[in-house]
């Protein structure tokens, strides 16, 4: 009965989501950036520092592809961040396995999934794109390729992450939480801050109007060994089409994959939706199929069209995104959400 009530609520939300979303203040979609200039956006609070690194490339007239690679390497290297790169929380067997993808405006793309021991999976993803005839390398094959390319094999499990994993093992209950602030600190009691969240997805448009995107994560903490999320799946966690725009996602990757989420957002923009409308429609498509979405599901999309216009939408509140352009280097905005 409760499920049915929730389902009806979700259906109604589908019809009136715009009105509901309007309740969130200060989340007005960013307008087009104008004919000139560059802009970079990325998911969550830690996107601010990542954007600033990307901006060092964009502000000098650099390529959007170089900007997004440079940008997402910041959270990949951040030891306080337990959801991206080194120090990411491991799978349930104690292995840190990383997922990443990168995509250029012309459809070129590369990705790695379940990659272990390499601190910057985004760089390996770019090598897959530029130096192989393939799009996605996984597991041992991805590691072998990375080592052949000269990347160093390293231990990515830090003492802090290992301790959190051992805490988790006491109950070994796998239940993805809505935002990782809850998952990471509510359950483990580890110290931490607001700026430690989930996957980083980044989209940039450079001064020449070229678009590119990147996405990198350690995935869901305590996942099954071999589990791959949406982030390295082109069309799910990331999609870019230079004629239209780009989109990226965060949250429960399985739901994003089931709905080809980022591809859907870009296709909706192609049909004339604004980035904001497209993100919202993609989220509502997921919510309609998930009667319990209000209780335990988080998915968020972030998008930018080829004019630099930005939109974001999530199931739950708490999803933030960072914006950086010539006017502001440290913008951080709350996403609109269904609930």
**Looking at the annotation, which residues are catalytic?**
199
Nearest to ligand SD4 of 57, 73 (CB atom): 73
Q: Closest distance between ligand SD4 and the C-beta of residue 262, in Å?
A: 11
**Under the rule (CB under 6 A), what is the footprint of ligand SD4?**
180, 198-199, 217, 219-220, 229-231, 250-253
HEC per residue, the chain: CHHHHHHHHHHHHHHHHHHHHCCCCCCCCCCCCCCCCCEEEEECCCHHHHHHHHHHHHCCCCCHHHHHHHHHHHHHHCCCCCCCCCCCCCCCCCCCCEEEEEEECCCCEEEEEEECCCCCHHHHHHHHHHHCCCCEEEHHHHHHHHHHCCCCCCCCCCHHHHHHHHHHHCCCCCCCCCCHHHHHHHCCCCCCCCCCCCCEEEEEECCCCCEEEEEEECCCCCCCCCCCCCCCCECCCEEEECCCEEEEEEECHHHHHHCCHHHHHHHHHHCCCCHHHHHHHHHHHHHHCCCCHHHHCCEEEEEEECCCCEEEEECCCCCEEEEEECCCCCEEEECEECC
Shortest separation between residue 189's beta carbon and ligand SD4, angstroms: 20
> Least distance to ligand SD4 from the beta carbon of 69, Å?
19
> Minimum Å distance from CB 203 to ligand SD4?
15
- Residue 146 or residue 220: which is nearer to ligand SD4 going by CB? 220
Nearer to ligand SD4 by Cβ, of 66 and 255: the residue is: 255
Shortest reach from residue 34's CB to ligand SD4, in Å: 31
């Amino acid at each position: 009965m409760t499920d049915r009530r929730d389902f009806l609520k979700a259906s109604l939300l589908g019809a009136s989501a715009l009105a509901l979303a309007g309740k969130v203040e200060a989340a007005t979609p960013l307008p087009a950036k104008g004919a000139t200039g560059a802009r970079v956006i990325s998911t969550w609070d830690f996107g601010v520092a990542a954007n600033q690194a990307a901006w060092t490339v964009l502000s000098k007239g650099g390529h959007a592809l170089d900007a997004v690679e440079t940008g997402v390497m910041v959270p990949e290297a951040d030891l306080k961040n337990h959801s991206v790169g080194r120090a990411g929380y491991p799978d349930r067997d104690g292995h840190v396995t990383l997922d990443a993808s990168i995509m250029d405006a012309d459809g070129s793309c590369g990705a790695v999934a379940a990659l272990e021991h390499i601190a910057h999976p985004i760089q390996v993803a770019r090598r897959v794109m530029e130096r192989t005839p393939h799009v996605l390398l996984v597991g041992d094959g991805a590691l072998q390729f990375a080592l052949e390319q000269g990347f160093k094999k390293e231990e990515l499990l830090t003492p802090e992450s290992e301790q959190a994993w051992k805490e988790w093992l006491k109950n070994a209950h796998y239940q993805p939480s809505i935002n990782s602030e809850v998952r990471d600190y509510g359950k483990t009691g580890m110290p931490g801050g607001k700026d430690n969240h989930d996957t980083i997805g980044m989209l940039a448009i450079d001064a020449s109007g070229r678009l590119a995107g990147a996405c990198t994560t350690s995935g869901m903490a305590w996942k099954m060994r071999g589990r791959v999320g949406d982030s390295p799946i082109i069309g799910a966690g990331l999609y870019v089409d230079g004629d239209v725009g780009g989109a990226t996602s965060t949250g429960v990757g399985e739901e994003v994959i089931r709905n080809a989420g980022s591809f859907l957002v870009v296709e909706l923009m192609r049909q004339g939706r604004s980035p904001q409308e497209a993100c919202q429609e993609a989220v509502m498509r997921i919510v309609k199929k998930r009667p319990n979405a209000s209780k335990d599901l988080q998915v968020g999309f972030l998008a930018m069209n080829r004019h630099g216009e930005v939109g974001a939408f999530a199931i739950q509140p708490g999803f933030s995104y960072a914006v950086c352009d010539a006017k502001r280097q440290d913008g951080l905005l709350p996403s609109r959400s269904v609930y």
